[in-house]
Structure 1
Amino acid sequence: MDFIGMQDECLKEDHISLRNLTLLLTYLCIFGVCSSDLIYDFLIMLSKRLREIDVSTILTVLNCCGMKIRSDDPTAMKNFIQSVHNRVNELKAASVEGQANINGKRMEFMLETIFDIKNNKKRPKEETAPHGRIKKWLQKLRVEEILIRGLKWSKLLDPDNKGQWWLSGGMAAKTDNVQEVANTIDKDVLEAQRMLQLASSQRMNTDARKAIFCIIMSGEDYIDAFEKLLRLDLVGKQDREIMRVVVECCLQEKIFNKYYTTLASKLCEHDKNHKFTLQFCIWDHFKELESMQLLRSMNLAKFIAEMIGSFTLSLAVLKSVELSDVTQLTPKRIMHFRMLFEALFEYPDEVIWNSFTRVAVTPELETLRHGIEFFIREYVVKTNKALANKFKISKKALNNTEGSPHVSWRKWLLCLVKAKFCSPPPPSPL
């Protein structure tokens, strides 16, 4: 779309051409090709001039997608309305010509429309059958993958821009920095090659695992990695590799990073199949504890504790382990599960109570409850007397026949937010 040409139409005051271009822009927003941020930036630009053609253009936008952009970003709508009011007040205090513009019918209609949108009195237009077909077609084309966020109207009109404004960081390919752009591209290629080599060294021996690994390790944060993982074109049961790669990356870290647990929780929340895969993955690692390096064992223990403390998994994940069978409790296994419970006991009392209460009452988990109580008493509390109070809480929770939290939901949720939703940093290369 020629945005500079659209700006020229505003200056020429060609109502028909400008209206058609404006409708095209608003429909791009409705169909999800561009975000509402660009529409708001366009409206703010028009509101600062507020000539007759600007008023007409604002009306076109508001009538077409006013309620949609209001629901997308109510705060931006308030800022736009404030900008309009400020300009109206300036015109009222200006010359007679400016006051005449304020009293025009079109201006009055625009202000009424803004008032209705602000107070949610304007009904959104019903979606027609052709619109629905277009949206489905665009979804098949994965239009969300090319949605440009944070794009500013002024950036589109920058005469020095040359086709690079969609890149992250707002890098512009100017005519005099071609070498700089080429160097940036070369760096990206080298980084991709290095990431693939790193994936191979970390036993990512299939194309699916390599792709998953590169996304996880190069994500800006866990949300960025999560969204990119969802867009991977995995066939059959390849999606099971996602959780296994997440766990493997966590175990390979030299210092435990909560980035992986937050990403894993987000994936489990999105699809319960990831939760089942995670459980089987953990059970497979339990079988390898005897031969597992101490650092991997420690990361695994902290990972499981985080999953339990965030209520993504329950203590039932330990049901495959005989915690009360001393013949199976080798030094390495004792060390692993002691680190797990010690990490879990670092959580507030409310989280500990709710974590242990989740496996109470259920008859099938009676053996697990006895095993947990035995292990904590013999191998955790005896070596760390400071955890005696935590053990009392967990023991009482395991025998909580009511099976309900002893704290209010408000306090429990606040505790969960503190424990889980502090966004961790993305991982450094392994």
Structure 2
Amino acid sequence: MERVGGKSRREKRKEARLEKHRNRFLSWVENQSGKNKKSNATLDPKPAVEMKFKEKPSGLNKKKDLEGKPKTKFQEFLEIDMGQGAASIEEDRVLERRLAKKLKVKKGRLSGPDDGINMLFEGLHSELDSVFADDIDIDGEIKEEDTCERINATTSSDRNKRKRKKKRQESEVAEEVNIEGSETENGGAEYLQESDEEDQHVEEPPVMDVSVKYVAPNLRACANTESEEISQIRRRVRGLLNRLSESNVESITQEVAAIFRSVSRSVGCQVIGGEVVTSCSGGPRGNEQYAAVFSAFVAGMACLVGIDFSAKLLASLAESFEVEYLKEDGLSLRNLTLLLSYMCIFGVCSSDLIFDLLSELSKRLTELDVSTILTILQSCGMKLRGEDPISMKDFVLSIQNRVNELKSLSAGEGKINCRRMEFMLETICDIKNNKRRAKEDPVHHTRIKKWLQKLKAEDILLRGLKWSKLLDPEKKGQWWLSGDVVSTIENVEDDVTTISKEVLEAQKLVQLAAAQRMNTDLRKAIFCIIMSGEDYIDAFEKLLRLDFSGKQDREIMRVLVDCCLQEKMFNKYYTVLASKLCSHGKNHKFSLQYCIWDHFKELENMELQRSMNLAKFVAEMLARFSLSLAILKTVDLANPKHLTPKTVMHFRMLFESIFENGDALVWNIFTRIAALPELEMLRSSLVFFIKQYVVAAGTGKSTAGKYKIAKKALDNVAGVLM
């Protein structure tokens, strides 16, 4: 191929052809711009924005346009769409507001709720803005500086069509705005405004956690403080207490005691004791059977796990009592009072605590106090009278004085129910006179008492407790063992004086123990406890606290019998203490038998006073059924060769002391050995000795009559007691 001037002929022809088309295109643009200037003079001062549209200046398209042939629907749609694209942004906004009002969209926006994604598109222009960014300013007007460079592909007829269509749209918008304005006057605008405000405050519903468990309303207070393990224990104990009755109290107490041992003692006392008090105070009206069963449960728990359980429960009961008293809840007060009264009946607390509460109530003597006093007296009034008649007398006198004071005051008569007060006074009078009403026969609860007797419930009795001590928030340590002794700065001198006196007495007792041939420290300690005890209960408790190892507990009975024989006059204190020890454990009973047999061997060399004290001691133990006549099986009372004058005198005093009791008691003493075949020799020897040495030497008919009763009792093989 030939190349001319460095270019080929083909390239030159191509450049010429392009130059020809360029010149033709420029001339066409000048013609179109002249037409636009003429048509713009008749249009709206704010013309619609025109789209960039490149039309290929082909002769075929020009020919079709000039001939005026009808266009296809797709071409018309493209022209309308391009024309609408030139509409201003203000028109779009007006149209959007009109549709929003028509559809009643909140906030006047057609867009959906803000989902947080719009922030990602901030700063980005829309497709419409990107097209007209160079043509439209803030007010929606066309920038004239770039219009000369645009290509207008629409004709004047098309602009007129768009103008007429725009006017129709503006008229429709005006009509709808007028309609919406009338609705606003009737409250429509207020509704939209209120809905907008409500939409601003709408909160999303909380998402429920499936793993969260339901907690009952009464347990929500302690739900955050208790662990799951303690909550399970509490629910288990509550279920057992709900099934508690007289028939299953023994088994349920065993189960709860097992639960108590599986946790710490403080947690066990708090959870179990709290459930007992809550079930009584927050439950329905309870009767005496209900209170008796729960009190038996408390007594059984104290026997199985320790008296600290019952002591802490009493403290919790006293606190709950005071709280319910301030609320004036008579139902809860009655339930708690019944529980406390039956705890006294079953030996959990002593009568001193009940009398202390009665004295507190008698000082106020409001209607609640009268109702509480009546509940106590009706449930355990006779027991209180039998245990401490002096305190009962003081209580009756205090009630009478307080009633007289209230009657003297005119204001006091309106505060108390007169009929209830009269009924309380009648009840107090009946108790004072030992008179029981026909409807007040107590329920014996034989099954419960046998079960508690088997558990040795007499050892769990709490003594020395006062109502103020139970309510004391500063009580520490084993406060239930110390009683109501409070050491303060005011009575320090009294305490020092008392301690010094006790030290002097202790020194004297130690010296006396040494004189009585108490040659070991254990014997000296037992001797000092027995001789310094306030009563037999105090001595009994102190003896049980001694640290014995092996068979050292046998020394208690030997020291006790020796102290009894050393007395110048026989003292029943030793028999009562010995009987209490025998009922506590069989080891003490066996030790006493062997000790008495040892003393029987020494009757020939024994002093007269010691022999007399020994005879009366054995007679008292037989009368209390702590020992039986089988203890005499080691003595041959039918062989005159072995019966020395001192021996005869000793056993004669023994049987005379037995015959001083009533006929029924004598019958029961001799009947206890009547049905035993191995004691046949003993029965015959007793008949011989009593007839030969007791009846023959007797001066009255009473001894002969008691002998006949004893002889018949020895023949009572059936063992029927009177």
Q: Place the TM-score, normalised by the shorter chain, in its bin.
A: 0.5 to 0.7
2:500 maps to which residue? 186
For residues 327 and 653 of structure 2, the distance between their equivalents in structure 1, rounded to whole angstroms, comes to: 66
Partner of 1:419: none
Higher relative contact order (CA 8 A, sep 6+): 1
Q: Give me the whole-angstrom Cα distance separating, in 2, the residues matched to 1:166 and 1:274.
A: 27
Structure 1 equivalent of residue 286 of structure 2: none
- The aligned residue for residue 570 of structure 2 is 256
CA shift for structure 1 position 331: 1.0
What letter is aligned with 2:673? V
Give the SS at the match of 1:239: helix
The answer for the alignment partner of 1:203 in structure 2 is 517
Q: Report the Cα offset of residue 317 of structure 1.
A: 0.5
Q: How many pairs align?
A: 325
Listed one character per residue, the Cα deviations across residues 314-360 of structure 1 (whole Å, up to 9, x for unaligned) are: 11111111111111111111110000000000011111111112222
Map 1:245-284 to 2 at 5 A: 245-284=559-598
For the Cα contact (< 8 Å) 2:463–2:483, is it kept in 1? no
Structure 2 residue identity aligned to 1:296? R
- Structure 1 stretch 214-223 or stretch 285-294: which is displaced more? 214-223
For residue 380 of structure 1, report the CA deviation from its aligned partner: 0.9
Instruction: Please state if 1:299 is matched with 2:613.
Output: yes
Q: Matches of 1:179 and 1:343 in 2, distance apart? A: 49
How far the C-alpha of 1:42 sits from its partner, in A, is 3.4
Distance in 2 between residues matched to 1:233 and 1:399, nearest whole Å: 46
Match of 1:72 among 340, 343, 356: 343
Deviation, structure 1 residue 288: 0.5
Q: Which moved more, 1:395-404 or 1:275-284?
A: 395-404
The 3 A distance-change label for structure 1 pair 167 and 174 is farther
Question: Does 2:300 match 1:32?
Answer: no
TM-score under structure 2 normalisation? 0.39
Question: Is the deviation greater in 246-255 or in 212-221?
Answer: 212-221
Aligned to 1:393: 709
Q: 1:32 to 1:402 in 2, by over 3 A?
A: closer
User: Mapping of 1:209-228 within 5 angstroms?
Assistant: 209-228=523-542
SS at match of 1:322: coil
Cross-structure match for 1:42: 319
After superposition, the Cα gap between the structure-2 partners of 1:180 and 1:345, relative to the gap in structure 1 and judged at 3 Å, is same
What amino acid is the match of 1:242?
I
Cα contact 1:353–1:397 (8 A) shared by 2:
yes
Q: CA deviation at 1:374?
A: 1.3
The answer to whether the 8 A contact 1:38-1:150 is kept is no
CA distance in 2, matches of 1:73, 1:329: 51
The change in CA–CA distance for 1:184 and 1:399 in structure 2 (over 3 A counts) is same
Identity of counterpart residues, as a percentage? 51
Return closer, same or farther for 1:349/1:67 CA change in 2, 3 Å cut-off: closer
- Distance in 2 between residues matched to 1:402 and 1:171, nearest whole Å: 54
Distance in 2, Cα, partners of 1:221 & 1:180: 23
**2:368 is aligned with 1:86:** yes
Q: Distance in 2 between matches of 1:401 and 1:154?
A: 54
Once the 2 structures are TM-superposed, how far is the Cα of residue 200 of structure 1 from its aligned partner? 1.8
Q: Distance in 1 between matches of 2:554 and 2:481?
A: 31
Give me the whole-angstrom Cα distance separating, in 1, the residues matched to 2:646 and 2:469.
Answer: 61
Please, which runs of 5 or more residues in structure 1 have no aligned partner? 1-14, 95-143, 408-430
Provide the C-alpha distance between the structure 2 equivalents of 1:73 and 1:308, rounded to a whole number of angstroms: 30
The separation in 1 between residues aligned to 2:717 and 2:491, in whole angstroms, is 71
Give a deviation string over 1:139-190, Cα, whole Å, max 9, x none.
xxxxx999973251598489xx9x9x99978565443553333222211222
Instruction: Give the CA deviation at 1:29.
Output: 9.9
Backbone CA RMSD of aligned residues: 4.5
Residue 663 of structure 2 aligns with which residue?
349
Amino acid at match of 2:651: F
Partner of 1:366: 680
- Superposed displacement of residue 228, structure 1: 2.1
Match for residue 649 of structure 2? 335
CA-CA distance at 1:381 after TM superposition: 1.0
Counterpart of 1:309 in structure 2: which amino acid? A
User: Aligned match of 1:323 in 627, 631, 637?
Assistant: 637
Letter in 2 for 1:326: P
Letter of the 1:152 counterpart = S
Quick one: which amino acid aligns to residue 598 of structure 2?
Answer: D
Structure showing greater radius of gyration is 2
Verify the 8 A CA contact 1:309 1:355 in the aligned structure 2.
yes
Q: CA deviation digits over 1:102-131, x for unaligned, max 9?
A: xxxxxxxxxxxxxxxxxxxxxxxxxxxxxx
Would the aligned equivalents of 1:48 and 1:84 in 2 still touch at CA under 8 Å?
no
- Kindly provide the amino acid, as one letter, of the partner of residue 252 in structure 1: Q
In structure 2, stretches of 5+ residues that fail to align are 1-220, 227-265, 274-307, 346-350, 372-413, 416-459
Distance 1:28 1:226 in 2: 32
Change in CA separation of 1:32 and 1:273 when aligned onto 2, cut-off 3 Å:
same
**Cα distance 1:201–1:33, how it changes in 2: closer, same or farther (>3 A)?**
farther
Q: Is the 8 A contact 1:265 1:312 kept in 2?
A: yes
Deviation (angstroms), 1:227: 2.1
**Does the CA-based 8 Å contact 1:34-1:148 persist in structure 2?**
no
1:379 paired with 2:379, answer no
1:146, 1:224 → 2: CA distance? 12
